[in-house]
């Protein structure tokens, strides 16, 4: 009987040891598998500490990252919240210094006189603030580099006496690899976030550089702005049409910036600049060896614009053989790299623009009708400048100020006759031509003037308005007329006169609208309303 009882005791002990060993192996396997798992930083540290406390019977455990001579807690269990906001200098905490210098796990004697860094910080004795009675630690390494420390504390003396030191060493090695991996992932996440911020900032800067916003208060501009707001909230493809220089790219950017995709990039492709031989690779990418010069896999613009917007400028110039592949990408949301037999799903909002009459191109057989209808789900037409002449003073003032800043000049203003000529001009190159004419005019008017020589006055003689076939400028006494010689309607002449007088008065009073209103015999609010109606101020 006695012998049988002994045998049963030995068997129970062996089974207990077997279960403990299996549990320890399970802990190590969990840490190892987490090294390759897709986890957030906080989850990685939490799972690592959970595994540690399964293997080590303790009241508290802490992971600390080494930064120079300091150890910074990154995760803890069983410690008071204040422990996680402290920084532990190894020169002030001899136990931590010993742990970092020791090749093997360290179990401190119960009667050690060295203060434990977590004395009074265990959550289990938050009120009593008692000393820790059992303390062990091991340094965490990745290769030869010490990356951190793992500590375990218990209020019960002798709590760690029966722990397997070999298992602790393996636990420390795996924990070190886990901490190093997590640190690298954190660094990569920070770098990616930073690059994303830079990319978004560059995107915003590019938008500002190209005008940033629609300027003007004409009925045509108000209608265009309403169309932009309407379609931006959707994910519909947009086809922007209009003459050269009207601001189609600016409209595309505003649609993107007002859309749910605004936090992602808008990737632009100029279809007119794509040689037919490389157009497919530019849009859809290629795999290594697909053609001569394809030395590596390369993503196309559709993949690069994933989750964002792809702006296909000058879509009317897209080679006809490429149009069916673009249609497939739009219809199925899939692209296939050149040389690959695998399709890639893409989530992209497509905005296209053209100065061509695509309906005529379809009739002539140069553009696929099915692609046209797929792109023109929501067409937007940008009006030419001659259809919104009342916006010219606002645009001119904006371009003059931008040119003044670029050239480092003082005040810049247009002569009275120049204002009239600008409003009367036909502007076949639209807003872009207006900007170029004014930039050249300011440069010529400022030639030979010092930095403090007073305001730069830009006259008709500086604007080379004859270079675009608009005829010789009229004399000061001439009736304002359109380029074809037909006099402007009386209403247009009155508005031009009002703009000139208001701008002259405001300029004379150095931008003081109240003083300008007194000179013109108007109440200040009435002057503001009139200037807004004439396009000289924004609402």
pTM assigned to the model: 0.54
* Nearest by Cα to 305 from 203, 194, 193, 382: 203
Q: What is the DSSP letter of 370?
A: H
Domains of the chain: 15-187 (3.30.450.40), 210-383 (3.40.50.300), 386-533 (1.10.8.60)
Local confidence pLDDT in tens for the 539 residues of the chain: 555 554 555 555 455 444 555 455 555 555 555 544 555 555 777 777 877 777 787 888 888 888 889 998 888 888 888 887 788 999 999 999 999 998 888 888 887 888 888 887 887 665 545 566 788 888 888 777 888 888 888 888 888 877 777 777 777 666 776 676 666 666 666 566 545 554 554 554 454 444 457 888 888 899 999 999 999 999 999 999 999 999 999 999 999 999 999 888 888 888 888 887 788 888 888 888 888 777 788 888 888 888 899 999 999 989 888 999 999 999 988 888 888 877 888 899 999 999 999 999 999 999 999 999 999 999 999 999 988 888 898 898 889 888 888 888 888 888 888 888 888 888 988 998 999 999 999 888 887 665 555 688 888 888 887 544 343 433 333 445 444 445 556 666 677 777 778 877 877 776 777 788 888 877 777 787 787 777 766 55
E strands, 361-418, in order: 378-381, 412-414
Contacts by 98-103, CB closer than 8 A, 24 or more apart: 99/137, 99/138, 99/139, 99/149, 99/151, 100/66, 100/71, 100/139, 100/146, 100/149, 101/139, 102/138, 102/139
Distance of CA 29 to the CA centre of its chain: 39
Q: How many CB atoms lie within 10 A of CB 233?
A: 11
């Amino acid at each position: 009987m006695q012998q049988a009882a002994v045998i049963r005791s030995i068997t129970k002990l062996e089974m207990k040891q077997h279960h403990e060993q299996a549990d320890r192996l399970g802990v190590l396997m969990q840490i190892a598998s987490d090294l390759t798992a897709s986890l957030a930083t906080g989850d990685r540290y939490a799972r690592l500490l959970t595994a540690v406390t399964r293997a080590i019977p303790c009241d508290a455990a802490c992971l600390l990252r080494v930064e120079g001579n300091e150890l910074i807690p990154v995760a803890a269990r069983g410690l008071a919240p204040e422990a996680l906001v402290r920084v532990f200098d190894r020169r002030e905490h001899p136990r931590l210094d010993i742990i970092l210098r020791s090749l093997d796990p360290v179990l401190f004697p119960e009667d050690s006189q060295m203060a434990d860094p977590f004395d009074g910080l265990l959550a289990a004795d938050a009120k009593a603030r008692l000393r820790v009675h059992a303390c062990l630690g091991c340094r965490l390494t990745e290769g030869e580099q010490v990356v951190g420390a793992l500590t375990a504390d218990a209020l019960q003396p002798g709590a760690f006496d029966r722990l397997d030191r070999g298992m602790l060493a393996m636990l420390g090695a795996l924990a070190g690899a886990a901490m190093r991996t997590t640190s690298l992932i954190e660094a990569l996440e920070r770098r990616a976030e930073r690059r994303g911020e830079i990319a978004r900032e560059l995107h915003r800067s590019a938008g500002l550089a190209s005008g940033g916003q629609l300027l003007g208060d004409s009925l045509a501009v108000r209608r265009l702005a309403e169309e932009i707001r309407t379609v931006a909230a959707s994910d519909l493809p947009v086809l922007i049409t209009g003459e050269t220089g009207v601001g189609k790219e600016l409209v595309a950017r505003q649609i993107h910036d007002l859309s749910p995709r605004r936090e992602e990039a808008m990737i632009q492709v100029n279809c007119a600049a794509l040689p037919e031989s490389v157009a497919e690779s530019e849009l859809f990418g290629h795999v290594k060896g697909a053609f001569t010069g394809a030395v590596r896999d390369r993503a196309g613009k559709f993949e690069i614009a994933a989750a964002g917007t792809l702006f296909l400028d000058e879509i009317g110039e897209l080679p006809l053989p490429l149009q069916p592949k673009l249609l497939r990408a739009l219809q199925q949301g899939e692209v296939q790299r050149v040389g690959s037999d695998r399709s890639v799903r893409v989530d992209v909002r497509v905005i296209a623009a053209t100065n061509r009459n695509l309906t005529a191109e379809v009739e002539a057989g140069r553009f696929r009708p099915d692609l046209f209808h797929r792109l023109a789900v929501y067409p937007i037409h940008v009006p030419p400048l001659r259809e919104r002449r009342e916006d010219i003073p606002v645009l001119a003032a904006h371009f003059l100020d931008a040119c003044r800043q670029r050239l480092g000049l003082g005040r810049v203003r247009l002569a009275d006759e120049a204002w009239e000529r600008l409003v009367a001009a036909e502007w076949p190159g639209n807003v872009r031509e207006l900007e170029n004419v004014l930039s050249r005019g300011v440069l010529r008017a400022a030639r030979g003037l010092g930095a403090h020589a007073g305001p730069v006055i830009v006259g008709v003689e500086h604007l080379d308005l004859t270079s675009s076939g608009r005829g010789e400028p009229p004399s000061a006494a001439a009736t304002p007329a359109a380029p074809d010689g037909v006099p402007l309607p009386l209403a247009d002449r009155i508005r031009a006169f009002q703009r000139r007088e208001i701008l002259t008065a405001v300029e004379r009073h150095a931008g003081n609208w109240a003083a300008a209103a007194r000179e013109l015999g108007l109440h200040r609010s009435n002057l503001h309303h009139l200037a807004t109606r004439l396009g000289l101020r924004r609402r």
